[in-house]
């Protein structure tokens, strides 16, 4: 069937749209090796069949948006592993093509969102949870521009500017997008009432308030408890539809490259997120297809508008 019947922005004006979950955890569950600095980008380069299979698993679970495996793909990082610019561009294009094939095989309409991960992701040292890289807005724009251009040329339905830890990086990517006519969402990773770099959330979200390219703003890869206050902060400065795709509350430990899971995962107040304006809802790291299937089914785990993660 056709990938999607119309722009994602039009669907968001009518209803909630379900995102997928964490790509890396699904690849790991499929037995893929994500070691080394390229992370999921390594699987994209070496085992594209596994990437497509992971996308298909989320589509079967009911996901209506598949986020590509381009999060970790940067020209400098891949050059350090022997990939020239043409090869890296081809991998960015491949990431969109794999998600598109899974979308076209689904039994419902599915949009493809090309992941534009933060500068910190390609450093593979946990910097995406800190920001403050020591680069200017201009330097960050120069880093992001070729990646964004390649992903737009590949034909994604929307760009996912995701896991952005720093308002200065958001300013950079918004500047790259300005005037392109592309559709994109902007998603910060947050800690409490601030970006990971420490900026107040209303100021951070206000950067996107007048950007015609931005169809949704919100948060991802954060503690579920931080979602609702962040959505309320966004709603205070913009009428743009909101989005939420947190992780399971785990904390990433960069030196050991491991997640530290919470002893008691908190329920997700999904109905409260919807009331606050969330129109794109899904999961990030450590949220898998079974969790997305439960969200798709509208399961209210405790009968009060909360959803509880499996496990």
What whole-number distance in Å separates Cα of residue 90 and Cα of residue 75? 11
Residue 257, CA atoms < 13 Å, CB-side half-sphere = 11
What digits encode the pLDDT tens for the residues 256-276?
A: 566 666 666 777 899 999 999
Chain mean pLDDT for the chain: 90
What digits encode the pLDDT tens for the residues 92-125?
A: 999 999 999 999 999 999 999 999 999 998 887 7
What whole-number distance in Å separates Cα of residue 73 and Cα of residue 29? 21
Q: Are the C-beta atoms of residues 177 and 184 closer than 8 Å to each other?
A: yes
Strand, coil or helix: what is 66? Answer: strand
Q: Which among 75, 205, 225, 206 has a CA at the least distance from the CA of 149?
A: 75
Cα of 188 vs its chain's centroid, Å: 9
Strand, coil or helix: what is 223? Answer: coil
* pLDDT (0 to 100) of residue 267: 78
**CA 21, 23, 25, 29 torsion-angle sign:** positive
Q: Are the C-beta atoms of residues 102 and 48 closer than 8 Å to each other?
A: no
Q: Which residues pair with 190 in a beta bridge?
A: 195
What whole-number distance in Å separates Cα of residue 206 and Cα of residue 198? 15
Q: Does the pLDDT at position 311 exceed 50?
A: no
What digits encode the pLDDT tens for the residues 44-93?
A: 999 999 999 999 999 999 999 999 999 999 999 899 989 999 999 999 99
Least-confidence region, from 69-78, 225-234, 246-255: 246-255
What digits encode the pLDDT tens for the residues 14-35?
A: 999 999 999 999 999 999 998 8
Q: Does the pLDDT at position 193 exceed 50?
A: yes
């Amino acid at each position: 069937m056709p990938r999607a019947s119309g722009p994602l922005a039009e669907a968001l004006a009518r209803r909630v749209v379900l995102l997928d979950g964490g790509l890396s955890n699904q690849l790991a569950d499929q037995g893929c090796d994500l070691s080394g600095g390229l992370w999921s980008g390594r699987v994209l380069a070496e085992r594209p069949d596994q990437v497509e299979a992971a996308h298909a698993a989320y589509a079967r679970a009911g996901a209506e948006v598949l986020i590509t495996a381009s999060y970790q793909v940067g020209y400098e990082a891949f050059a350090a592993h022997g990939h020239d610019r043409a090869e890296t561009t081809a991998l960015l294009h491949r990431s969109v093509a794999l998600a598109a094939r899974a979308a076209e095989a689904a039994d419902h309409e599915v949009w493809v969102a090309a992941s534009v991960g933060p500068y910190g992701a390609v450093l593979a040292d946990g910097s995406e949870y800190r920001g403050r890289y020591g680069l200017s807005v201009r330097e960050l724009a120069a880093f992001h521009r070729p990646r964004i251009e390649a992903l737009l040329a590949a034909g994604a339905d929307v760009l996912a500017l995701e896991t952005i830890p720093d308002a200065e990086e958001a300013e950079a990517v918004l500047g790259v997008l300005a005037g392109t006519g592309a559709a994109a969402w902007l998603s910060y990773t947050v800690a409490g009432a601030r970006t990971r770099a420490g900026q107040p959330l209303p100021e951070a979200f206000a950067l996107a308030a007048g950007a015609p390219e931005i169809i949704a703003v919100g948060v991802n890869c954060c503690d579920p408890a931080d979602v609702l206050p962040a959505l309320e902060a966004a709603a205070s400065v913009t009428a743009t539809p909101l989005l939420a795709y947190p992780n399971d509350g785990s904390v990433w430990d960069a030196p050991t490259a491991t997640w530290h899971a919470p002893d008691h995962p908190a329920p997700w107040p999904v109905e409260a997120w919807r009331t606050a304006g969330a129109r794109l809802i899904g999961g990030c790291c450590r949220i898998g297809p079974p969790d997305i299937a439960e969200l798709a089914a509208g399961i209210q785990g405790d009968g009060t508008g909360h959803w509880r993660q499996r496990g």
